[in-house]
Amino acid sequence: MKAGQFRRRSLDRIQFLYYTFYFSILLFAAPTFAWNEDWEPKEVGIGDQAEYLLEFQQGEVLDPELPSKGMYPDPDSPDLPLFEVITSEVSDTKIKLVVSYYASGKFSLPIIWKDKDGKEFRSEAILNVRSSLGEKDKTPEEILPPLEFSGKYGWKLAAILAGLAALSFGIFYAWYLNQTASKKTMDALVEADPWVQKILIYESKLDEIINSPPVFARNFYRVLSGYIRENMAKKMNAPFAHLTEAELFQRIYDSFGLEEGEVRNWENTFRKAQYSGEEVEISSSEALKAWDYWKEALSK
């Protein structure tokens, strides 16, 4: 009996030592930590900053090739910026870049490195860049700060409201005499068109920018883009606020009798002004010329 128990204990001990030895081999044979790469945050808007981080043990990442600080062009449109490296930090255990993208889509940085065995790797971390305007941004009030009407636009609004008041009175009087117009029809005619008020907000803001130099291209073209979108939404009876600049100008090209080269030049101008890393000033006359062009183009 005692001999059997001793034998069983010996077998258990041998089995324990065997498993311990086996798992030790697996533990030391398997690679521990190689590297980890990620974006923070993983999703941003156009022009927003995101941090790329590649962490690794010393000696695990060799000969890294990464973009230096500066602006990098869009391969499809070399005269337009695609992304900008704002800061770059490289050490023995990490690579950290702060980056802004100026187009929507999903992107990975052009970073290449080798492991200690000489095998080449490329960055696979994906950053999702969404359009700077969301579906919910369908009114100028959500894009521009509240404005008070003054000057000629205040008078214009007052004239519109006075005209609507006079029209209301006339319609009411005709209804009172004839008893033929339905209440629904009268309400539809009396009600002020919200689109007029939205356009007046944009026109007032553009007028304010042009007549208050210096005129900064980013702010001017951002407001002009909203003005164009609101006009297009009215003409096409569809939302335009959420479209990227590329999508907006494609719709303009499809809908208006404008030359393709002319449309592309305007698209480039809007993208450069709004999404480049530099704050550029333009003259009031240049801004007024751009606004006049689009007023005429959108009136067709």
pLDDT for residue 136 is more than 50: no
State the chain's mean pLDDT as an integer: 76
Model confidence at 256: pLDDT above 70 = yes
> What is the pLDDT at residue 178?
61
Q: Are 71 and 84 in contact (CB under 8 A)?
A: yes
Give the pLDDT band of residue 166 (cuts 50, 70, 90).
low
Q: What is the mean pLDDT of residues 152-177?
A: 61
Domains of the chain: which residue ranges? 35-130, 140-298
Judged by average pLDDT, the poorest of 38-47, 79-88, 177-186 is: 177-186
pTM of the model: 0.47
Determine the average pLDDT of the residues in 196-222: 89
Query: Does the pLDDT value for residue 181 go beyond 70?
Result: no
**78-133: pLDDT as tens digits:** 667 788 899 999 999 999 999 988 888 899 999 999 988 889 999 999 999 886 55
Superfamily of structural domain 35-130: Immunoglobulins (2.60.40.10)
Confidence tier at 267 by pLDDT (50, 70, 90): confident
With 50 as the cut, is the pLDDT of residue 2 above it?
A: no
